Structure 1
């Protein structure tokens, strides 16, 4: 960390952010730019922004060594930043959400600043420093406070922030859920049921005329569509059980993540399975800790989502890896990609994207993935893929 912030970088960065705001560009991608500016200006190893809801926070933007924490749910900070604008914390004195995710290096300090919009604290901006650098001085506090204020101003523009809006009143939400449930169920169930019935009728009425190849093809289609129908029913029932907390409630324990992923891939429908490319699946990973049975559901949803938003002749890549605290696996496609302002909305219940001829379907898959993963003390995130497409990343605790 330099003795003084890089004021030239600060000025250039602020101008760049204001140019984007003045041109009508705002939201999560601009917030990410502010986080990156904090890291660069203060000479930090990494930086992150946590957005606060009523009872919890979520890391929605992070750069540098903190990037793996994007998507992580965290406890609400309580009153730690209520009586001060910035706070310097020695990392050996706190079980810090970001610090445990730094890959390499020896961190010594976290400097945080609260971000306000009006009278509300909407989030906090954090930067992390290595042990070999000195303690941040008053100028570093002042610059971080300035950038936190800039981040807070983004919340007043009404363009994609907060990433997680305030929940609707209970009765309004219940009625909306009932209406959507009817619409989603009727729409999503109709296609596989219609196809299964059509092919079954064809087999009944034209058995001899179809010949052996035709009968085999009809049975194959019925089997494929029946599998889709079963997965859809599981999703709908799982979403319906949100209130009783039964989703993902199976006992947790150590398991082999790569082995679970390979078994999940083998159980996928043939057409989807053939599109998957297992690029990096090391056999010497430590054990993950969680619910092994959930991996099949999680991978199926992520792979199906990737297939839906990419062309038939492209591959969907699956890889796995580890760091000091977590195991991860990624599902990456070369599809239409996800807009930065949608990377958090995509996990909302019933949220649907419209990207040309691609449709998001019921809007339950990613919602259920996040719930399943977070019940195992893990987290999941989406991000645009360099060169086009989307990367979904799941992180689970090490056993």
Structure 2
């Protein structure tokens, strides 16, 4: 870390932000620019911004070693920022929520600043520093406070921010309607697979041969059993506030679960999914193995809906010290930066999808986030370099 912030970079960056605002840009793309400027100006290893709802926060913008944390739900951390506008936290001094975001690198300190609109803390801006960087000085604190203030002005303008609906708005939603919507959508996946294989048997019985017919029957049997378990779980575990139950969680082989889920995809979609890098040996993930088929099906269907026919959807997996991850990447129209969080809202649908062949109510990605977060993981979307979209799911290591 330099002894003083890079004021030249700060000046250039603020001019660029003003140019973007004056040209009509707002919301998440400009906020991401502020986060990137914080890392560059202060010489950090990474930076992130957590937007706060009344009951929790979510990381909606990040750079550098924090990039993998985009989409992660976190507890509100503004209690530590009440006494001062900025705070330096040694990451080895406590089990800090934000410390778990960092992917790689010897990161030791986090400098945080609260983002306010009037008396309300709407989020917090954080920059991470390595062990050899030294501790940030008063000038670093002042610059981060300045940039957090700029983020606050974006929120005050209320053009595209906040990204998420407030808790009051969420409470006004009909809980019973939510339960019906999520239940019907979760049931649709196995029903679609069963119908697809049944139609294949009906229309191509002779040409399939014994092996093909046996494979189709096996998949139908597997999905019928899954459907029965799903109906029992949903009907018995539903509560009045619209929450749905989950299968018992525990250690499971993520790579094996992904291979099985790919094998059970509808035939046309299965042919498009390429297992790009799926390690044979990985640590166990900790979560709900049965949910992987639903999660993968929804993400793959979303990729298919927004990419050219016959184009490849790449599936890969990996591991770091805290999490296991898998990614689905397509070469489609891509997702606009301001839509990477809106895509997870209930009933929201982007323009340009193939709704003729893939009709839906805008519940797929909403359901994916629900399934992943109740396993203490997180899911995110981002534009893919060279065109297309990458969806990434992270689950805890066992």
Q: TM-score range by the shorter chain?
A: 0.7 to 0.9
Question: Could you say which residue in structure 1 is the equivalent of 2:72?
Answer: 72
1:176–1:340 Cα change, 3 Å: farther
Normalising by structure 1, report the TM-score: 0.84
Q: What is the Cα deviation at residue 78 of structure 1?
A: 4.7
Q: Look up the SS of the partner of 2:92 in the other structure.
A: helix
Equivalence for 1:261: 258
Q: Is the 8 A contact 1:20 1:30 kept in 2?
A: yes
In the alignment, what sits opposite 1:52?
52
Moved more, 352-361 or 30-39: 352-361
Q: Which residue of 1 aligns with 2:375?
A: 376
Q: Which residue of 2 aligns with 1:341?
A: 338
**Corresponding residue of 1:245:** 243
Q: By how many angstroms is 1:98 displaced?
A: 2.9
Aligned: 1:152 with 2:152: yes
Give the corresponding residue for 1:386: 385
Residue ranges of structure 1 left out of the alignment (5+ in a row): 214-218
Report how far residue 99 of structure 1 moved: 2.2
Unaligned runs of 5+ in 2: 208-212
SS in 1 for 2:247: coil
C-alpha deviation, 1:357, in angstroms: 4.9
Normalised by the length of structure 2, the TM-score is 0.84
Kindly report which structure 2 residues correspond to 1:191-210, keeping only aligned pairs within 5 A, or say none. Answer: none
Q: Distance in 1 between matches of 2:322 and 2:134?
A: 27
In the superposition, relative to structure 1, how do residues 70 and 9 fare at CA in structure 2: closer, same or farther (>3 Å)?
same
Q: What's the CA shift string for 1:90-126, capped at 9, x where partnerless?
A: 1111212232332333222110000012221110000
Structure 1 residues 11 and 377: CA distance shift in structure 2, 3 A: same
Runs of 4+ in 1 over 4 A off after TM superposition: 167-172, 175-178, 210-213, 222-225, 237-242, 356-360
Write out per-residue CA displacement over residues 322-370 of structure 1, whole angstroms, 9 at most, x where no aligned residue.
1111000001111111111111111111222222655772111111111
Cα deviation per residue 1:165-202 (whole Å; 9 max; x = unaligned)? 22455785229948x96xx99xx99xx8xx99xx9xxx
Tell whether the 8 Å contact from 2:54 to 2:167 is kept in structure 1 after alignment: no
* Match of residue 125 from structure 1: 125
| Corresponding residue number in structure 2 for 1:290 | 287
Rate the CA distance shift 1:245–1:96 in 2: closer, same or farther, 3 A.
Answer: same
Tell me the secondary structure at the aligned position of residue 174 of structure 2. helix
Structure-2 separation of matches of 1:397 and 1:170: 27
State the alpha-carbon separation in 2 of the partners of residues 2 and 29 from structure 1: 27
Q: Is the 8 A contact 2:344 2:365 kept in 1?
A: yes
- Partner of 1:140 in structure 2? 140
Q: Provide the rounded CA distance (Å) in 2 between the counterparts of 1:356 and 1:170.
A: 27
Q: Distance in 2 between matches of 1:175 and 1:283?
A: 42
Q: Secondary structure at the match of 2:81?
A: coil
Figure out how many residues of one structure are paired with residues of the other and give that number.
Answer: 375
Within the candidate set 267, 271, 281, 1:270 is matched to 267
Contact 2:299 2:391 in 1 (8 A): yes
Please name the residue that 1:216 is paired with.
none
Residue 210 of structure 2 corresponds to none
CA contact (8 A) 2:57 2:76 kept: yes
Counterpart CA distance in 1 for 2:388 and 2:173 is 33
